[in-house]
């Protein structure tokens, strides 16, 4: 039996149910920039998985990476060409069941790959208000952008990927250019796994205002700046490996925001 719904539900955790998982992917892929940039072939996703999950210097996710790669290999054998095709062929429970049984791939394994996409790769929807610490200027800007229908990181990235678009957005919203730029960069940084508003604010506070700056940083200087910033706000950011993970992932995620 290739579909055990109890196993599927366990594989989904902490996502509520299969419908919620499918909804998240549909929302993300509704944006042109997501379809254009993140519709990796299965072969390309295998290599990305080796770098992202399998590239952890402490080896914490090695078993997870090998498991994912094994399932991706099964999907290749099932003639799935890319991620849009995979999402399309498994959009509903009925489609998931039919696909799993036809190709003799366990449904909970397929769900494991789809959940991996949500947490590690495909940009997910986050409200702009959830990307900032309390700040009157940024909050006012988010309110102004919301009045234009731009409420999430995905909305803002779609509208602000190029310098020309960001300039037009600043003029249309009457938000200053530097604040538009900061919010776009916060939306870009939010694509990284583990990127809470605290992590994003810490990286920016340390002097690395964009994903590109983070990716191109000298690691020793980056760590020194990050820990010094933590000390300046009374926090020991040496606890954990927040900046190590962020720097590593920033270097491998697809580049989006274009700078002058």
Same domain, 134 and 200: yes
Classified as helix, coil or strand, 176 is coil
- Tell me the residue range of the domain where 226 lies: 128-250
In a domain, 157, yes or no: yes
- In this structure, are 147 and 227 located in the same domain? yes
C-beta separation of 124 from 193 below 8 A:
no
Find out whether 106 and 2 touch, Cβ atoms under 8 Å: yes
pLDDT tens for the chain, 260 residues: list them. Answer: 799 999 999 999 999 999 999 999 999 999 999 999 999 999 999 999 999 999 999 999 999 999 999 999 999 999 999 999 999 999 999 999 999 999 999 999 999 999 999 999 999 999 999 999 999 999 999 999 999 999 999 999 999 999 999 999 999 999 999 999 999 999 999 999 989 999 999 999 999 999 999 999 999 999 999 999 999 999 999 988 899 999 999 999 999 999 86
Mean pLDDT score of the chain:
97
Do 216 and 237 lie in one domain? The reply is yes
CB atoms within 10 A of CB 63: 11
Query: Count of alpha carbons within 13 Å of 112, Cβ hemisphere only?
Result: 20
State the Cα–Cα distance between residues 128 and 142, nearest whole angstrom.
Answer: 7
In this structure, is residue 257 part of a structural domain? Answer: no
Q: How far apart are CA 256 and CA 128, in angstroms?
A: 18
Residues 6+ apart with CB under 8 A from 19: 93
Residue 193 lies in a domain: yes
Neighbouring C-beta atoms of residue 96, cutoff 10 Å: 23
Q: Looking only at Cα atoms, what is the longest distance across the chain?
A: 58
Contacts of 131 (CB under 8 A, 6+ apart): 153, 183, 186, 187, 190, 197, 200
Q: Give the per-residue pLDDT at 240.
A: 84
* 191 within a domain of the structure (yes/no): yes
20-67 pLDDT per residue, tens:
999 999 999 999 999 999 999 999 999 999 999 999 999 999 999 999
- Same domain, yes or no: 103 and 140: no
225 shares its domain with 139:
yes
Residue 255 located in a structural domain: no
**CA gap 62, 96 in Å, rounded:** 27
- Residue matched to tokens 């310098």: 163
Of 206, 229, 5, nearest in space to 96 by CA: 5
Residues 98 and 142 in one domain: no
Q: What pLDDT sits at residue 259?
A: 83
The rounded distance, in Å, linking the Cα atoms of 135 and 139 is 6
Q: Do 238 and 230 form a contact (C-beta atoms < 8 A)?
A: yes
Residues 132, 246, single domain; the answer is yes
CA distance 36 to 187: 18
In a domain, 154, yes or no: yes
Does residue 116 share a domain with residue 145?
A: no
pLDDT, position 180: 98
Q: Final residue of a domain: which of 121, 152, 170?
A: 121
Residue 183 and residue 107 share a domain? no
Q: Which of 121, 140, 159 is the last residue of a domain?
A: 121
Give me the number of domains the chain comprises.
2
Residue 256 belongs to a domain: no
Q: Final residue of a domain: which of 81, 104, 121?
A: 121
Q: Are residues 21 and 73 in the same domain?
A: yes
Residue 259, domain member (yes or no): no
- Same domain for 136 and 114, yes or no, is no
Residues 139 and 102 in one domain: no
């Amino acid at each position: 039996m290739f579909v055990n719904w109890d196993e599927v539900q366990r594989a989904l955790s902490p996502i509520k149910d299969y419908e919620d998982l499918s909804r998240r992917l549909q929302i993300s892929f509704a944006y042109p920039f997501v379809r254009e940039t993140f519709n990796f072939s299965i072969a390309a996703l295998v290599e990305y998985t080796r770098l992202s999950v399998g590239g952890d210097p402490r080896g914490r996710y090695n078993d997870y990476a090998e498991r994912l790669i094994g399932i991706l290999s099964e999907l290749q054998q099932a003639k799935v060409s890319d991620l849009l095709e995979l999402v399309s062929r498994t959009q509903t429970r009925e489609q998931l069941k039919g696909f799993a049984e036809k190709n003799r791939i366990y449904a909970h394994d397929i769900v494991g790959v789809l959940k991996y996409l949500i947490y590690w790769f495909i940009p997910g929807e986050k409200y702009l208000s959830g990307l900032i610490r309390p700040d009157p200027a940024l909050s006012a800007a988010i309110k102004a952008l919301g009045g234009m229908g731009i409420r999430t990181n995905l909305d803002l990235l779609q509208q602000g990927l190029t310098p020309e678009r960001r300039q037009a957005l600043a003029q249309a919203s009457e938000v200053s250019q530097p604040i538009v730029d900061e919010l776009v960069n916060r939306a870009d940084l939010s694509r990284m796994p583990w990127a809470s508003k605290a992590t994003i604010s810490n990286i920016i506070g340390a002097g690395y205002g964009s994903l590109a700056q983070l990716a191109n940083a000298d690691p020793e200087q980056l760590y020194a700046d990050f820990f010094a910033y933590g000390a300046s706000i009374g926090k020991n950011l040496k606890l954990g490996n927040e900046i190590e993970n962020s720097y590593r992932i920033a270097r491998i995620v697809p580049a989006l925001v274009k700078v002058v």
